[in-house]
Amino acid sequence: MRSIRDILLGHERADTGAPDTDALRREFKNADEIMAIYSSLCDIPVHDGVLDSAVVPVRTSEKLYVKKHTATQRPYYHTHDFYELIFVTKGKTECLFPGKAPLKLKKRETLLLAPGAVHAMTRSSGNDCVLKTVIPEKYFFASAADVPQPGTITKYTASAAAEYYLYKLLEEGFAPDDYAEEQQKRLLGLLLTELKRGTSEKNSEAAERVKNYLAEHDSPSLDELADKLGYSKAYLSRLISEKTGVPFRKQRLLFKLEKAKKLLAETDLSVEDVANEAGYTSRSGFWKKFTEFEGITPLQYRNSLKK
């Protein structure tokens, strides 16, 4: 199996030159209408915020596949009779819609376009990697629990698992064997489910587990938490950062600060005792961190609550 990088480079090399008549007929449902007005897709006006093309090209496909949005592709308005999943794996892109502001997408942000959604995409740069999954209706209906209305545009923030399924779907389509289509259907179902599940529920669960651990331990340790959960320290560190958006080390610091603020507000403990109770080994270290994050000293914070 070729590497993902080689497959994507192959997409770039294959996308040179304008499609011929046969290619237009294969790729566009209304190819005759397009060719009656334009000699090639390159003649269709580049978008200017309005739908100024006399004919809106309608792409068609009966094949499920993943393809890179290559640097040679122009931003012309079009629609399709299939579902299209636009997934940013690196860099960024913009999706354009007639009469609307561009929709900017960054890494792991994803759009699902239902049939009939008129749109265009800006050119891709060398720093971007945007993968477009073409999903004919028969595959989508068999893999998705919910079917969006025609013309619907749905945005997701994808997880690492969703990106993994997308790459596996790409690989299966590159060198298909007798089992490829069956595997693609499974992967598509997993991908769509993971997108629908999103990251918010996982983020909440992961954040709650870390919060509970911090609350239950006077000297919280990533090594100890990793051992408790049965993960390696490196994997757990990446998992916490990905699912909550905040590294464990910073969460531990913020938790200690919140505990200190609560003690300053609700007790008469000295600043040194507050520092000890909050898990700091020195009064000066506590003072420094508190001032750095809160902008005032611990005593100033306590006094501000008495006003």
Q: What is the mean pLDDT of residues 124-150?
A: 91
Q: What is the CA radius of gyration of the chain?
A: 26
State the alpha helices, DSSP H only, in the chain: 4-14, 21-27, 31-37, 137-143, 160-174, 180-197, 200-216, 222-229, 233-244, 248-266, 271-277, 283-294, 298-304
Q: What's the CATH code, domain 201-304?
A: 1.10.10.60
The pLDDT tens digits for 161-176 are 889 999 999 999 988 8
Domain residue ranges of the chain, discontinuous segments joined by +: 4-198, 201-304
Asked if the model's pLDDT at residue 192 lies above 80, the reply is yes
The 8-class DSSP code of residue 43 comes to: G
Q: Is 201 helix (H, G, I), strand (E, B) or coil?
A: helix
The predicted structure's pLDDT at residue 249: 86
Residue 52: pLDDT band (50, 70, 90) is: low
Q: Which CATH architecture has domain 4-198?
A: Sandwich (2.60)
The predicted structure's pLDDT at residue 206: 63
The pLDDT tens digits for 109-118 are 999 999 999 9
**Between 144 and 64, whose confidence is greater?**
64
CA–CA–CA angle 253, 203, 94 (5° rounding): 110
Indicate whether this model's pTM tops 0.75: no
The pLDDT tens digits for 238-255 are 877 777 667 888 888 888
Residue 14 has a CB neighbour count (10 Å cut-off) of 12
The dihedrals phi and psi of 106, each to the nearest 5 degrees, come to -115, -175
Asked if the model's pLDDT at residue 258 lies above 70, the reply is yes
Residue 120: pLDDT band (50, 70, 90) is: very high
**Between 41 and 181, whose confidence is greater?**
181
What's the CA gap between 166 and 183, in Å, rounded?
A: 12
Residue 199: pLDDT band (50, 70, 90) is: low
Residue 305 has a CB neighbour count (10 Å cut-off) of 10
Q: Which residue, among 108, 70, 71, has the nearest Cα to 88 in the 3D structure? A: 108
The predicted structure's pLDDT at residue 72: 86
The pLDDT tens digits for 6-28 are 888 898 888 776 667 788 888 99
The predicted structure's pLDDT at residue 50: 57
Q: What is the mean pLDDT of residues 292-303?
A: 85
Q: Dihedral sign for Cα 277, 278, 281, 285, please.
A: negative
